[in-house]
Structure 1
Amino acid sequence: MSTNKNSYNKIINNWITARNNTFINKPIIDFADHVNSEGIILDIGCGTGIPIAKYLSDRNFSITGIDESTKMIETAKSQRIKNTVFYVSDFFDFESDEKFDGIIAWDSLFHFPKEQQEEIYGKVYHLLAPGGYFLFTHGKEEDEHIDNMFGEQFYYSCLSKDFVLDLMKEIGFETLFSIENFIEEKDQRDWIVLARKK
């Protein structure tokens, strides 16, 4: 959404400072442990590439990162992280001839328009290789709201947890873990899911 794109462009310096001081959460490590060694991973809403794309690169994966924010992608490219390519792209516009061994959407799906939330899972399924893994964070309750971060407004939305789980099962995903109220050090997420394309 253009609101989020413009806001992320405006907060880039605060974002760099914040992300450069974060750690890799355990579910991301678990995701990397599942994906084929040296596989290819799509990072939806990759931001500056720090710390997630950098971590996955250090584990010898090849990463394609997409983000709507031009400033985020400029910064990501400037990091010169090995085995990475970064594109300014809306997820719904993104196409690839490659099928990905893993797709990660860490703190990004909740920025998508509510009317397009249902489309996410079919598109991810299409982009994944058979047996590929999908890790994402999400809210538990159906919601749509505007919130502030670093003094700028951001749009958020999500569908209910049960609806998403039913939808994914219908599409052909197998859920490997579903963690509610995840807390690690000072980090908190409402819901984290790791699923596999059958």
Structure 2
Amino acid sequence: MTDDQQRPQAAAAFDALGAEYEKAFAGSRTHRRSLEWLLARLAPGSRVLDVGSGTGRPTAETLADAGHEVLGVDISPVMVELAARQVPAASFRCADIRDVPLADGSFDAVCVYFSLLQLDRREQKELVRLLVRSLKPDGHLVLATVPLDVEGLDATFMGRPVRVSSFPAQELVALAEESGLEVLEQEASLFTPRHPDARPEPHLFLHCRRRSVPDA
């Protein structure tokens, strides 16, 4: 499957899920703790990019309620419509994040919660590097994924066909470090989404900081 074919498939899957996705993952305590970790490190009024923002909950809502300036980007029009309605204090854009111009050093923090899985490994590496460049020096990036050794796996997610790629935990940590991040903390958990077709799945959360860039 080409990249141009993969993008519509990913959008269609999450268009179909809509608010069902939010309900399925609302019980993730690890996600909540991750947001608390980030909030404790943000200065007032920080600018935060939420990649794969979904319905806006819990990430964009939690950050916006804390007074931060949040931009959410998602490829699913249905998700973006839901997010804009549910979290009016944040801004949302329907687009592939790779098509959004991101100025270097323009964000205090970037959130990437489970939004890499629809990309192949090469694309994931390229996107993480791009997102790191969009961070200010010492800015924070939170990355969560399902840490499995798979590439181009055809799977069913909440009843919808998807193609999934990921990295095992050690390789994901290496990817982050090679992209210019310092991994400060990591937390692994096992979570079962609230959905009839769901099975327990491993989750890995990396809490990172962009390494300082020395003065020229």
Q: What is the correspondence of 1:23-172 to structure 2 with a 5 Å cutoff?
A: 25-82=32-89, 84-97=90-103, 99-144=106-151, 145-172=153-180
Alpha-carbon distance in 2 for matches of 1:175, 1:21: 25
Of the structure 1 ranges 138-147 and 71-80, higher mean CA displacement relative to structure 2 is found in 138-147
* 3-state SS of paired residue (1:15): helix
TM-score by length of 1: 0.86
Is the 8 Å Cα contact of residues 140 and 191 (structure 1) preserved in structure 2?
Answer: yes
In 2, the alpha carbon distance for the partners of 1:29 and 1:80 equals 18
Structure 2: distance between partners of 1:148 and 1:180: 23
Question: What is the root-mean-square deviation of aligned Cα atoms in Å?
Answer: 2.6
Within the alignment, does 1:5 sit opposite 2:28 as a pair? no
One-letter code aligned to 1:27: S
Alignment gaps of 5+ in structure 1: none
Distance 1:63 1:172 in 2: 23
- Unaligned 5+ runs, structure 2: 1-6, 195-199, 212-216
Percent of counterpart pairs with the same letter? 20
Cα shift at 1:182: 5.6
Structure 1 or 2: larger strand share?
1
Alpha-carbon offset, residue 16 of structure 1: 4.8
Deviation at 1:107, TM superposition (A): 1.7
* Alpha-carbon distance in 2 for matches of 1:179, 1:160: 14
Paired residues of 2:114 and 2:144 also in contact (CA < 8 A): yes
